[in-house]
Amino acid sequence: MRVCTLASGSKANATLVESGGTRLLIDCGLGPRVLAKRLGDVGVAPTSIDAVVITHEHIDHVRGLTQAVTRWPWPVIATAGTLAALPEVPTDRRLATAYLRPRAVGECTVELVAVPHDAAEPAAVLITAQRTGARAGVATDLGHVPDALGAAFERLDYLVFESNHDEVMLRTGPYPPYLQARIASQTGHLSNRQAGGMLTRIAHKGLRQILLAHLSQQNNEPQLALAAARDVLKRTGFRGVVGCATQDGVSWPDGAREWQGELAL
């Protein structure tokens, strides 16, 4: 299995997960030209994508979706609520998927997990390789961690997880009070501290890679997110690689120049 982010942040989001010849794109916040370029950076042709999974309808996750599904024959997997909020997706491409109902795509199984966010019917994504059993979890845009998500994300091999803001930077930063309140709410975004709480629960010696994702450019710094993660990971069995996903390029271990990961301990 291979997992990398093609973009992660408030401007655009897209993640690639591939295993056994099956390639899945999670979210499509990049326009087709930039998306094709970043897929090319990791040796993937857009025509080889088997499906796109949409976590929710906010623009930074779907900005390029309409053009992409016009250009490439991708089925679109999402909850019924998310698809209802995306009327531009052609009817014959829609694969409405209920929470925790596995859907087979090629050699992988896709499951959607409910998350609390101010969107129609948002989801985190769990992908399992049918042949090897490898598991990847992707969760961004959530205000707190529900028990069902913690349970679904146990025994992962790869994790992409939100670490949006430093709580002090958010409180003392330039955002107006109403926006600070929205971000810090139960349906907003996770802080570095909250992300650490999830890592404490699910980190184990078999977890190979953690990408801290959706970092705010105004209210966070990669070194703060990494420090918070390392502080909790050193008290677990985790021995993999942890890093921060970037907004402006590919993030993955084993060769991409944008990867800024390092051993947790």
**What digits encode the pLDDT tens for the residues 139-178?**
999 999 999 999 999 999 999 999 999 999 999 999 999 9
3-class secondary structure for the chain?
A: CEEEEEECCCCCCEEEEEECCEEEEECCCCCHHHHHHHHHHCCCCHHHCCEEECCCCCHHHHCCHHHHHHHCCCCEEECHHHHHCCCCCCHHHEEECCCCCCEEECCEEEEEEECCCCCCCCEEEEEEECCCCCEEEEECCCCCCCHHHHHHCCCCCEEEEECCECHHHHHHCCCCHHHHHHHHCCCCCCEHHHHHHHHHHHCCCCCCEEEEECCCCCCCCHHHHHHHHHHHHCCCCCCCEEEECCCCCCECCCCCCCCCCEECC
Q: What is the mean pLDDT of residues 254-261?
A: 40
Q: Is the pLDDT of residue 264 over 80?
A: no
Q: Is the pLDDT of residue 263 over 70?
A: no
- Report which residue type is found at 70: T
Closest by alpha carbon to 145, among 181, 193, 108, 109?
193
Q: What does the pLDDT look like over 218-257, one tens digit per residue?
A: 999 999 999 999 999 999 989 999 999 999 999 975 433 3
CATH of 2-263, one of 3.60.15.10, 3.40.50.2000, 3.20.20.140, 3.90.1150.10: 3.60.15.10
- pLDDT of res. 253: 55
pLDDT tens profile 47-60 = 999 999 999 999 99
Q: What mean pLDDT value characterizes the chain? A: 95
Residue 260 has pLDDT above 60, yes or no: no
pLDDT in tens, 82-124: 999 999 999 999 999 999 999 999 999 999 999 999 999 999 9
Average pLDDT in the 52-74 region?
A: 98
CA-to-CA distance for 172 and 177, rounded, in angstroms?
10
Question: What tens digit of pLDDT does each residue of 3-39 get?
Answer: 999 999 999 999 999 999 999 999 999 999 999 999 9
Distance between CA atoms of residues 109 and 125, nearest Å? 10
Those residues whose C-beta lies under 8 Å from the C-beta of residue 77, and which sit 6 or more positions away, are 51, 52, 53, 54, 95, 97, 103, 105, 110, 112
Dist. CA 198–CA 146, nearest whole Å: 10
**Residue 265 pLDDT:** 38
pLDDT value of position 258: 38
Q: Is the pLDDT of residue 262 over 70?
A: no
pLDDT over threshold 90, residue 66: yes
Name the pTM for this structure.
Answer: 0.94
